[in-house]
Structure 1
Amino acid sequence: MAIATDVLVAGGGATGAGVARDLTLRGVDVTLVERGGLTSGTSGRSHGLLHSGARYAEADRVGAEECIAENQILKDIAGACIRDTGGLFVQLAEDDPDYFEAKHTACEEVGIPTETLDGDAARERVPGLASDVERAFEVPDAVIYPSRLVAANAADARDHGAAVHPHAPVEDVLVEDGQVAGVQVGGAVDDTIEADYVVNATGAWAGEFAALAGLDVEMRPTRGVMVSVEYDDLGPVLNRCRDPDDGDIVVPHESEAVLGTTSVRVQDPDEYETEQWEVEKSIEECAAMLPPVADAPEVRTWWGVRPLYAPDEDERGGRGISRGFFLLDHADDGVDNMASIVGGKLTTYRQMAEATADLVCDELGVDADCQTADRTLPGVDDPQQLDGLVAEFDGQGPTDQDVVGAE
């Protein structure tokens, strides 16, 4: 006998868990399925940066405004899922001073708080900073521990009635008369789920999921490497103040620093080659900002795949600085009760979930407002409780494995 639910959410990363939480808080019955453990896709394989919006300020004002708004919300609601480190955008001697000025001005126009430091003041702020750092400006960047964040969202959804199923891969999507009539799910579910509405929140795999329903969602995933090294004396996030390029971010953890990243197109988000040059380039470029990391012992290396939406990538002409999100209502494509949420970034997961939940509620006739910006996530004042939730949902990713569950 099939499982009945109001909404089936496919994808157990930050966005999928966020959609499930948002909808359950509006009184909607939700089932969430994820083919692996929670965060096993993109969310748990990032560098874990909570953007202030400064990275996007001069090129994508809307994206920057989204980031600073969500940055402030998550600092309020996410507790020990966030490490509030602050961040610096640093200009080296070889970097274009006009770019620095343009980014700084754009931050002010967007409303991102900044404070400019000369090179000496920046080196006082960050021991080990390169001698040729000419100036920097501070922004409210921070660090996300995605394993905790996703687990907290999933737990809140479950506490409000959602069924959350890790290790439950979607095997087929049955479409009849312009509607998803059922979704065949294997693994821990091993049954057909019949839902009034289906949300495709599978990130870089959105194209594969959509194809099961006979739909075309063209993704353009790119891989990026992260290298974690032993380093406990960083303080703020470091961002190279130049056009986006390989090795321009250093993210502090408690006893490590994460160096990243690269951007290389892949055809298949599951099967792709990785190259040693990506590791070496990331270390080399990050060491230009922070020389001691060049000789710091490597702890672990991982690659993640960005869920980039192909039409947006084509419009921007390849690697750029925008990371907006796109909500695709498939009623426009002949399937009335399904939507895909693609693109975006970890920082804006809650806003992506809110937009998706708004659409779903409109379609289902549910008159209820979003509550997720004002409600604290469960367990966030107790790291051990959060880490217990991570273990329960098999949600440990490499991004924060040095912190989550550490003694």
Structure 2
Amino acid sequence: MIESTTVLVVGGGATGTGIARDLSLRGVDVTLVDRDGLSSGTSGRSHGLLHSGARYAESDRVGAEECIEENTVLRSIAGECIRDTGGLFVQLEEDDPEYFEEKRAACEAIGIETALLDADEARERVPDLTPDVERAMWVPDGAIYPSRLGAANAADAEEHGGTIYPHAPLEAVSVVDGRITEATLGGTVERTIEPEHVVNAAGAWAGQVAALAGVEVTMAPSRGVMVSVAYDELDPVLNRCRDPADGDIVVPHADEAVLGTTSVPVSDPDDYEKAAWEVETSIEECAKLLPPVADAPTVREWWGVRPLYAPDEAEGDRRGISRGYFVLDHADDGVENVTSIVGGKLTTYRQMAETTADHVCESLGVDADCETATRKLPGADDADRLDELVDRYDGQGPTDKDVIAQ
């Protein structure tokens, strides 16, 4: 069977579904495909942190500005896809006080709201916080539920004429005279799509998708483990206030706390080691912030792969690679109707989608404005409806399994 579409979006994570929604709202005919259900890649395998930008404030001002801007937007449009927990950056006795001051000053310069807490005030907020706390800084972090988020975006795209194929892996493309003319889908679909434009939003797999069209996208993925333990006494997100390292974030969920994470380079996002030391290190380090998690029962553990784009930094430690995003126009590579969106963070997915949609619309000659920053997601205020959408698109990822199950 052969179908035609104006834009084929490859990748059903937050960014891909966000692009499909954005383009559909602008009146563009969109088909989105994923291989294992929506949010089955990086989006659904994160720790579920809604960034305030504070984590990047002193090292990546642009990235931090993007985070706080999108943090505010998501609070207005995403409803039950997020949880407003607030967050604390915690300085322990062994941590550098100058780093704390640098981060606080950077947050204030960017416009990220903060509040300084002494040790006693911090322990009032989190009674089980380690006695080794020196002080803490409150920031507007939160929790985000990617399965709901992706499903809501996909539903809005479909309600506005888009087509969503959650189990349709892209198997091959035909390039004729510098354009993709056909895309072959497998899985439950098994048909050929004739697109005017293709968007590669495959995250850590973007290099593999690009290679099908004969173009190069150099990804530098790194794996990280998340460990969810039975602990329902935590309200705010906890961040260790030091240079990013293993086991420095604790994210509260319904009846669990998610501990993470590690950063280990991988060459293949589908085939990598899942090492026991990563689990042990994450628990041990997070317990320095919140001692009860050391003995809390482990409910589940999972690994995710970060979609880092670093054509010049593919080797070595990847913590320093920018979490910014990049829109790549492959006309410069000889294939004029392909765009890749790489890098970025879950928190900034909507902005990434808007930037990509702007580029695609310009290429297609479509004159329409983005509506996604002000238009509420469907079902945003109805958790049951959101969970029905997750089921519709087979969007269940491990990040928010405990929340969706309830």
Q: Pairwise mapping of residues 4-403 of structure 1 onto structure 2 (< 5 A)? A: 4-311=4-311, 313=313, 318-320=318-320, 322-403=322-403
Provide the C-alpha distance between the structure 2 equivalents of 1:260 and 1:34, rounded to a whole number of angstroms.
Answer: 27
Q: Mean Cα displacement is larger for which, 315-324 or 152-161?
A: 315-324
Aligned letter for 2:121?
Answer: A
Aligned letter for 2:378?
Answer: P
Q: Mean Cα displacement is larger for which, 350-359 or 309-318?
A: 309-318
Shift of 1:188: 2.1
Aligned letter for 2:341?
Answer: I
Provide the C-alpha distance between the structure 2 equivalents of 1:187 and 1:247, rounded to a whole number of angstroms.
Answer: 37
Aligned letter for 2:164?
Answer: V
Provide the C-alpha distance between the structure 1 equivalents of 2:188 and 2:85, rounded to a whole number of angstroms.
Answer: 39
Provide the C-alpha distance between the structure 2 equivalents of 1:23 and 1:109, rounded to a whole number of angstroms.
Answer: 34
Shift of 1:310: 2.1
List per-residue Cα deviations over 1:65-84 (Å, max 9, x = no partner).
Answer: 00000000000000000000
Task: Give percent identity, aligned residues only.
Answer: 72
Contact kept? 1:244, 1:320, Cα under 8 Å? no
Provide the C-alpha distance between the structure 2 equivalents of 1:15 and 1:66, rounded to a whole number of angstroms.
Answer: 15
Shift of 1:254: 1.4
List per-residue Cα deviations over 1:135-184 (Å, max 9, x = no partner).
Answer: 00000000000000000000000000000001100000111100011111
Aligned letter for 2:267?
Answer: Q
* Consecutive unaligned residues in structure 1, runs of 5 or more: none
List per-residue Cα deviations over 1:175-203 (Å, max 9, x = no partner).
Answer: 11000111110112211101100000000
Contact kept? 2:265, 2:317, Cα under 8 Å? no
Aligned letter for 2:203?
Answer: G
Contact kept? 2:145, 2:399, Cα under 8 Å? yes
Provide the C-alpha distance between the structure 2 equivalents of 1:27 and 1:82, rounded to a whole number of angstroms.
Answer: 28
Q: Mean Cα displacement is larger for which, 204-213 or 182-191?
A: 182-191
Provide the C-alpha distance between the structure 1 equivalents of 2:123 and 2:112, rounded to a whole number of angstroms.
Answer: 22
Provide the C-alpha distance between the structure 2 equivalents of 1:41 and 1:345, rounded to a whole number of angstroms.
Answer: 13
Provide the C-alpha distance between the structure 1 equivalents of 2:341 and 2:191, rounded to a whole number of angstroms.
Answer: 24
What's the TM-score once normalised by structure 2's chain length? Answer: 0.99
Provide the C-alpha distance between the structure 2 equivalents of 1:337 and 1:321, rounded to a whole number of angstroms.
Answer: 28
CA RMSD of aligned residues (A): 1.1
Q: Mean Cα displacement is larger for which, 312-321 or 17-26?
A: 312-321
Shift of 1:312: 6.1
User: 1:58 is paired with a residue of what secondary structure?
Assistant: coil
Aligned letter for 1:126?
Answer: V
Contact kept? 1:231, 1:296, Cα under 8 Å? yes
Count how many residue pairs are aligned between Structure 1 and Structure 2. 406
Contact kept? 1:59, 1:321, Cα under 8 Å? no
Contact kept? 2:219, 2:314, Cα under 8 Å? no
* Consecutive unaligned residues in structure 2, runs of 5 or more: none
Shift of 1:90: 0.2
Provide the C-alpha distance between the structure 2 equivalents of 1:131 and 1:313, rounded to a whole number of angstroms.
Answer: 40
Shift of 1:226: 0.1
